[in-house]
Amino acid sequence: MDTSTQQLERARQLLDGEELSLTELAQAVGLSASHLQRRFAAHFGLSPAQYLAQRKLGALKSALRDGNDVSAALYDAGYGSPSRVYEDNSAKLGMTPARYRTGGRGEDIRWSLVDTALGKALVAATQRGICMVELGDDPAALEQKLQHEFPNAQRTRVDAGRDEFLAPRLRAVAEHLAGRRGDVPLDLIGTAFQKRVWDALMKIPAGQTRSYAEIAVALDSPKATRAVASACAHNRVAIVVPCHRVIRSDGSLGGYRWGLPLKERLLQRERAV
């Protein structure tokens, strides 16, 4: 490990142990603040501030999952103010910390099954937009996946076309799955880096592909190839967020949440169009 890499690893270890400003962190590892900011982001895929935020968020989520008191979990994770964590993390958790602790209790999710050009799809939406599009042949298995993702949310199944809010979103998703572009409002729940990856995926033109490494470079994080692949694997919104357009550098397909045969079929269809 060269000296520069050792300094970056030291910076990461310091952030794992305490909350430091960029200036304090740079002084501790013997780099200028601007140089540390640039090199840390290139190596880890996140700035030092984003890394610290994700570490704190991870600690908070773990404590909430364990059933700890919300206030205690907030302070143990390093948040100085309960009001600030609600403001900063609701979008990342997809809900407030209290609701996350109870598995999404209080969230209202409406869902339905729709037949599409790619087979059956479960489409689920909050008031903010589509939060899940899952593909599969077994309706019961699709419903189980929704339950697993949002175990304690209020999940209401509605008949296709009979809900003024969900009906147009079902149509938009069906159009998208048929290969016709349309505006699909999304409620993407993920980390800051995952959202950056998903945004980059949605900018890849149909019929084209990018490698995981190319996406990492486009995000100014050339060492974050594995993090890009992980973000693709955690995409809950099939086709609309087109992770099927991301392949390995050697041209092989790589992985796909909904199976490689579908990934290959999608790419072939888009190239033909």
Cα dihedral 191, 126, 200, 268 in deg (nearest 10)? 130
Which of helix, strand or coil describes residue 76? helix
- The string over 216-225, giving b where at least 16 C-beta atoms fall within 10 Å of a residue's C-beta and e elsewhere, is bbbbebebbb
Contacts of 13 (CB under 8 A, 6+ apart): none
CA dist., res. 241 & res. 248, Å (int): 18
Cα dihedral 100, 104, 109, 113 in deg (nearest 10)? 100
243 flagged as catalytic: yes
Annotated catalytic residue, options 170, 240, 243, 246: 243
From the number of C-beta atoms within 10 Å of its C-beta (0-12, 13-18, 19+), residue 123 rates as buried
- HSE (CB half, 13 Å, CA atoms) of 57? 22
Catalytic positions are 243
